[in-house]
Every structure is written in structure tokens, then in C-alpha cells.
Structure 1
Amino acid sequence: MTEYDAIFIGAGQAGPFLAARMAADGQKVALIERKFLGGTCVNAGCMPTKTLVASAHAAAAARRAASFGVIFRGPIDVDMTVVKARAEKVTLDARKALTEWLGSFDSMSVIYGHALLEDQRTVVVNSEKLTAPRIFINVGARPTIPAFPGINEVDYFTSTSILQLCSVPEHLVVIGGSYIGLEFAQMYRRFGAKVTVIERGPRLLSREDDDVSCAVEEILRSEGVATHTSASGFSFRRDGDGVEVRFSKDTLVHGSHLLLAVGRTPNTDDLGLASAGVRIDDRGFIEVNDRLETSVAGIWALGDCNGRGAFTHTSYNDYEISAANLLDGDNRKLSDRIPAYALYIDPPLGRVGMTEDEARRSGKSILVSARPMSRVGRAVEKGETAGFMKLIADADTKQILGASVLGVGGDEVIHGIIDAKTAGIPFSDLKWAVPIHPTVSELFPTLIRDLRPM
């Protein structure tokens, strides 16, 4: 049995950075990964998919270039082999950089294989036993495959496997109208496919406010993406070389390709968690407290597998919390994290804090302000006026409760509000800021001055 100071199971966006901190301090650590370093973000998430989004944006911009006075002589074609190769290069370069960086630590052992907890301090990998007083689980999640009737009789893609597609589908049917599904829907529509999105909920993006959901649907429909909501009773069968999707009794959609984007399942079912006494919830997520400690002293769960965040930035923040508490003598808590994220359709949606609906249900005295992007000079200049900006605040405490920026640069613009919320700055202190013109962010003081009870 080999002894370590710490064992890390999984090499996503939390574990490797904490392992590196410990190794840099001279601690002996083992980092175990069953497949690729970097987790979902590097290999099947943010990096390759946003590279594809960038290619899709370039195709869309080329098609509307004439409205800017830029004339192409000939049709706009998309070479998916080049698109795919570009995304693969981004992933491989990032993976190589991680491999070289982690391999530079003398006191770190990077082990490839499947890790199994034998007890609270012992991990078995490649038939060898490792032991440590501290174990960190960072195994991420995978696409969920529901037990739909007929699903195992048809070919389908997940958000991972569709990255290997090197041609444009004739008709891509997307099951799931949330963040992942909508990004791929718009992307492949811009590549030239016919696209249909089918969502079980009453609207797309069910976690967002109605006005956000409706605006996103309108953006997608304006580009030719068909949508169906309140769908139920799914079943699937082969239709020649494609697939037939039946839902809501007798509604049929025939597609050449099928993408399942209906959520993610934590990779916790084959780790031997029961042998170590680590508790999971009814969805398979590892239960953690405010310091990311599991039900077993000396075992932590970081990243997507703890169900407390589903993004690269929340996973990395799990590392920051753990490092601060374990190595820096700090007392950082998970509950202090301000929720923020983005939807990478074009234009993107940047979100932070409460939705308007959540704020209303909280019982607070709320103020709301909104402005369409058609009244934002920067958006008009760029010819990208879809969407709107919305700010929600507490009338009593003068604190910003939340914001939505659906529009050009929304994923970057939202950081002004993230920073203000992090610093606890009342909106009254921001009202007379002098932002740069012409930008989208310059509208925040105007939004603040326009806050009204709703």
C-alpha cells in the first residue's frame, strides 16, 4: 500500500489545482483520472463547444455581411472537417498544457485508471492500493440518457458524442430546450441544418423569467429553429437512415440526426462510495456541507458531482474554497457564492443572482428596470439589437438582487453586476458612475435610475 498526503479522484476543474497547490508545498499527492485531464470543460464542454459557437457566429456574420456593405462573391459554405479540427485542436492544446504542468511537480503522481474507494482512507486503482488522510472526489457528470421507449433502437448523439460529427445534418432534432440543447440548436442551424427543438416544459429555459424565455425563443425562431414545448410521452423509432420522434400523443417529427440534451448525471455510481460511507442524494450527487466536506471526515467532493454548481467557474471556485480553508487558514463558505452563469447562444445571456420571479416570491420589496437592446447605442451600431437588459433590486436595502443581460456582449457585461454584488455595493453608489461610451455596460447607471416598483 502506497501512502500519500492526499488522493484526488478525477481531474476536472477543481482537483488538479488543489493537488498542484499541495504538491507545490511539498505534500505527496496522487491524482487519478480514468480518461482525460481537464474534465468536461476541456474535453467535451466549454472549450470545444464555444469554439464551435465561434465558427457558427462567423458563418452567420458572413451571411449578413452585405448589410454592412461587405460583399462576398459566391455562396457561404461551411467546411465541417475544418470546424471540427479547429475545436479538437483547442481541446488537445489545453490537455497537453495540463499534462505538462501537472507532470512538473516532483511530489505528484498522475495515475490513469478507474479509482474505487475501499474504505474511508483507501483507494484501489489498477489493482494497487493507495491510502491518504485526505481524499478529494472531482469526477464530474455525464449526459443523462432517459429510458424513453425505443431510444435504444435508434442512433442518437449526446453533447459529448456530437463533437465527433464532421458533417452538417439534414435535420437535427434536439430533445431538451435548456442551455446545452439551445446552444447546439442555433449552432447547427447556422452551419446549415434544419433544426427542431422539443422541450418537455411549458417554455424554453424553464429556470429563467418568462420574458427571457420568450425572447430567446424569438431569437431562435427568427433564425429558422422550430420549437415545440409542453411535450410529453416521447417515443422513438428508426425512419430509414434517420429517426422518428413521437410526442404529445400524435405529434411526429422526422429527423436525420437526434441529440439528447436533457440534463446531466453525476459520475458517482461506480466509485464505491457506500464502502466509505459517503452519502449521496436521490439523484446521485454527493452531499456536502458549506466547506465541501462529505458525510465522512477527511473526504471532500468538488465540482459537478456535488450538485452545488454545474459550471467550470463553480468547480474552480470549489477549489478556491477548499484551498483557502485547508491551506490558507481561511473560513470560506459555499453559501457565500453568488450564482452567475451564461447561455452561449448568439446574442448571449448573462445572468447573476435572483430572477425577477424568485425576487417576487422572496417577499422583498423589489424594484425592476428593463431596457430593450434596440435602445442601446452599441447594439444598434453593431446591428445586433435582439434582447434586453433587466435589473432587479431591493427597495429597502438598496442591494442589487439580480440581473439579466440578453444581448450583444451579455456574457461580459454581466460582470459589472457580479462585481457590485460581490462587493456589496448599494445600487445608489453606482447611479452616478461615468462608464465608457459606446458600450453596453454604459446603460447600467440608466437602468439604476429607472428602477421602479413593479
Structure 2
Amino acid sequence: MGPVSSRKQSIVFIGGGPGGYESALVAAQLGADVTVVDRDGLGGAAVLTDCVPSKALIATSDFMSRFKAAGRLGVGFEGTGDDQHAEAHLSAVNRRILTLAKAQSRDIQAQVESVGGRVIQGTGRISGPREVEVTPDDGEARTLKADMVLVSVGCTPRVLPSAMPDGERILTWQQIYDLQELPEHLIVVGSGVTGAELAHAYLGLGCEVTLVSSRDRVLPGEDADAATVIENVFRRRGMKVLNRSRASGARRDGDGVVVSLEDGREVHGSHVLLAVGGIPQTSGLGLEEAGVEVNDGGYIQVDRVSRTAAPGIYAAGDCTGILPLASVAAMQGRTAVAHFLGDHVAPLNLRGVCANIFTDPEIATVGYSQADIESGKADGRIVTLPLSTNPRAKMRNINDGFVKLFARPGSNTVIGGVVVAPQASEMIYPIGVAVQNRLTAEQLASTFSVYPSMSGSIGEAARRLHSLES
């Protein structure tokens, strides 16, 4: 159904990232009066400094890696000389990446404006009940009336007081696209998703890379088997991984950097990349004065339809601390708008979220995890199928990776899965469909797959779940 109110509702979006612009499109299509206030450009960090640029960098790195692996497929470079090789020109790579990101941002703004939305470049803050004070970059502050406000302001990179970024040698993930030359030796501090992805990217581009991890393994929050595969691949390709090594600081040292570890060791390199999490950009928005609850970490507290504690004020995206994914931010925002306007809405279901880590191989997940099953949080059976037995994987010289499925005993309903493979982000979708729609392993197994295909391993894993049940 559509909006229940005949009066045109006014909605102001503070922040134009995925949580803001995606929901602004929905709001305009549902007949609302839409204004998006954004500081840096529509698309937010996801488009301008995070997801789009980093994945474009990784795609470039993976292209380089295919050249290096060509010899194993019987393909080589012809011509004279023994030192023929592919080489990354970082200034050209970064120029392409930033051009791509800005073009995507322009396309998003054009899309919002095409459905009747207004975009104001500037800042916004909640100044009173149903009011937003907007300060455009090119004009005087003014107050907008708003029946609904959606806050989607994202996060900024966390830094260490003892390792303040200078934009030249000590860098956050938002500053790396200003580099003109490939680092000789990049030290990456932080082995979560951002750290692992960018360490992989620069290794593939030809850098010496040292990854500093405070935990027992890289990607500590991910499936343990998947993380082990990635760490082994990192080491095999020449990355130095320092586990159980917490960084205490970083400093410039001539033309290089020195990263100090808490145990007294020092790591020397040419550049250091800090990937130690983010901080929500929620200060100065008038949230507390408006009655919005913000926790000690600065994250806005919301319910499953994105409502805050203040009437008419919703929030979406990384600033809520729910799950730092662009897809989740967009779903939160769309849910908020649908709830406010009286359209059909379902509460946010995090079990249906497909997530991906863009290393090589990639790690894709959905639903319950093996840790959930082993801890008793979920009741499930587990089947793991290595990709080394898959005929398409053999053709592509893929030796690392697996498909893992989880199903509920009795009903055999698929409740989760993990894929570790090249383009696992594409392979996880059928498992996501199964989890979201409560399909059984039998239904998944009886669905035709192409032969030969990587996705054939999903069907085979489902058949093995069926044989375990019967």
C-alpha cells in the first residue's frame, strides 16, 4: 500500500550516504517532499572514500595478480627480455579510482533530483521539534520544517593519539588515494575487514606489506576456517603477518615510518596505514537536546524500524552501530521511510544480510555462523565442501576455498552459509535466498546448477546435508 496521509510529508535527510540517498529516493517516489543535506557529496564515504574506491583498488590488484598467475595456466609473455612484467602506476590507478567515485556521486545526485528531491551541500543539525537548521556551503543558515528527520552521517576513521595521520606517510584509509607512488613497504595496523582488504590490495600491486594484528589471527570476527585460509594465502604470497602484536604508536623517521608495538618491538617501513575502526560523526547535531539516545561510543540507538527515542527522528547506517555495511544502511533508511509514511514495512532482519570481504579469495557469509552453532546460540548441522574438488575451480587453477552450509536438524532448513572463493560475493546470493525464504537443503539441492560451475558446490553441499538427515 502507499502513504496513508493525503498531506505531503516533509522529510529532511542529514547525510547523503547509502542510508540517506537510498531512502530519499523511496520517500520521493512515495510522494514526500524530500531534502537531502550533505557535506561531502552524495554517496558518502561508501562511494567517495571507502567501498567504491577500495573495491576498485582491489579489482586493479586482482587484475595484476592474474598476470602473475598466468604461467600456471600455460600462458606467458612473448617477446625479448627475461624481466617482462606488469607494473602498477599508482598515480594513474588512484586518478581513475577518484574519477570513478566522483562520477558515481554525480549520478546519485542526478537520480535524487530526477525524482523531485532537493540536494543542499552543507551541514544540518536538529534545532527544535520538527526543525532542521541547514547551513549551505554557499549561503546563510536557514531553518527547514520537517515532519520526519533521518540522520545518516556515517563514521570517520579512528586514529591513535600516538599515531596521528599526516596524509603523507601515516595514513587513514581515506587518505591513501592521494599517494602518487607505490609504497616500498606498507605497514597496515589492524587486521579487521578494512585492514585485511587493503593489505591484500597493496600486496597484489607489488608492495612489501606487513600486517600488524592484535589478535590471534587476521579477521578475528569472521568464520575461523575462512580466516585461516586467508591468512595462509597472505603468508604464501609474501605478506608478513604479526599476530598478537598490538601497535602502541607510529612516527615519522626520515623518509620512512616506525611502528612501535606494546611489547617493545619496532617495525620499520615506508608508510603506515591505520585501519583501527571508525568513530560515528554524531556530535554537534543537536541529538541529545532533541531527545535522541546516544550511547557512550557515540552511536545513535534505534529499534528494528530505525526509530530513535525522539518522535519523528530516525537514523540509519554506520552511525547506529548496527552493522557497518552499505546494504544495511540502505535497508535501514528505506525501512525508516516506509514506517513513517505508512507503507508496507518489515523490521530489519540481520540474519538475511549477505556480507563479503574482498580479499583474494573473497569471504562471503549469511545467516547464523559456525560460532553461533558451537556456542548453542543456534541449533544446526554443518557441511563443508572444499573447492579443490570442483571441476570449474580446477580449470581456473583455484586451490583455496570452500563452501560451508548450516541447516536446522529435523526441518533441514538452511540457516546460514560461508563461501570462500574468487567472487564469493556472487556465489553467496543463492544461499542468501535460501536463508531469507527458509528454504530447505532439499529445495536447494533440487535446483539445477550449471555444469561445470563454482555454484555447483553449493548444490553438492546441500545434497550432503540431505544425506546426513536421511
TM-score by length of 1: 0.93
RMSD across aligned C-alpha pairs, in angstroms?
2.1
User: Residues 181-330 of structure 1 correspond to what in structure 2 (within 5 A)?
Assistant: 181-232=195-246, 234-327=248-341, 329-330=343-344
What's the offset of the Cα at 1:67? 2.3
Aligned amino acid, residue 246 of structure 2: S
Counterpart contact for 1:4–1:131, Cα < 8 Å: no
What's the offset of the Cα at 1:363? 5.2
Name the residue aligned to 2:134.
Answer: 125
2:47 is the counterpart of 1:42: yes
2:29 is the counterpart of 1:19: no
Q: Which among 390, 393, 397 is matched to residue 379 of structure 1?
A: 393
Distance 1:49 1:225 in 2: 19
Q: Which among 65, 69, 80 is matched to residue 74 of structure 2?
A: 69
User: Residues 424-435 of structure 1 correspond to what in structure 2 (within 5 A)?
Assistant: 424-435=438-449
Counterpart contact for 1:4–1:30, Cα < 8 Å: no
Structure 1 unpaired stretches of 5+: none
1:330 is paired with a residue of what secondary structure?
coil
What's the offset of the Cα at 1:239? 1.9
Name the residue aligned to 2:36.
Answer: 31
Distance 2:252 2:19 in 1: 41
What's the offset of the Cα at 1:80? 1.4
2:364 is the counterpart of 1:359: no
What's the offset of the Cα at 1:75? 2.5
Q: Which among 427, 431, 455 is matched to residue 441 of structure 1?
A: 455
Distance 2:378 2:214 in 1: 31
Regions of 4+ moved over 6 Å? none
Name the residue aligned to 1:419.
Answer: 433
Aligned amino acid, residue 320 of structure 2: N
Identity %: 28
2:172 is paired with a residue of what secondary structure?
coil
Distance 2:351 2:224 in 1: 25
2:179 is the counterpart of 1:174: no
What's the offset of the Cα at 1:401? 2.3
User: Residue 323 and residue 4 in structure 1: after superposition, are their counterparts in 2 closer, same or farther (change >3 A)?
Assistant: closer
Aligned amino acid, residue 13 of structure 2: F
User: Residue 9 and residue 273 in structure 1: after superposition, are their counterparts in 2 closer, same or farther (change >3 A)?
Assistant: same
What's the offset of the Cα at 1:9? 0.4
Distance 1:376 1:264 in 2: 39
**What are the Cα deviations for residues 191-235 of structure 1, in whole angstroms up to 9, with x where unaligned?**
111000011112111112322221110011111111111123613
User: Residue 400 and residue 226 in structure 1: after superposition, are their counterparts in 2 closer, same or farther (change >3 A)?
Assistant: same
User: Residue 316 and residue 111 in structure 1: after superposition, are their counterparts in 2 closer, same or farther (change >3 A)?
Assistant: same
1:419 is paired with a residue of what secondary structure?
helix
Counterpart contact for 1:324–1:332, Cα < 8 Å: no
Moved more, 432-441 or 149-158: 149-158
Counterpart contact for 2:148–2:340, Cα < 8 Å: no
User: Residue 437 and residue 35 in structure 1: after superposition, are their counterparts in 2 closer, same or farther (change >3 A)?
Assistant: same
Counterpart contact for 1:359–1:401, Cα < 8 Å: no
Distance 1:150 1:258 in 2: 9
User: Residue 321 and residue 359 in structure 1: after superposition, are their counterparts in 2 closer, same or farther (change >3 A)?
Assistant: same
2:18 is paired with a residue of what secondary structure?
coil
TM-score by length of 2: 0.90
Moved more, 365-374 or 339-348: 365-374
2:120 is the counterpart of 1:111: yes
Q: Which among 61, 67, 88 is matched to residue 98 of structure 2?
A: 88
User: Residue 99 and residue 295 in structure 1: after superposition, are their counterparts in 2 closer, same or farther (change >3 A)?
Assistant: same
User: Residue 364 and residue 190 in structure 1: after superposition, are their counterparts in 2 closer, same or farther (change >3 A)?
Assistant: closer
What's the offset of the Cα at 1:350? 0.9
Counterpart contact for 1:123–1:130, Cα < 8 Å: yes
2:229 is paired with a residue of what secondary structure?
helix
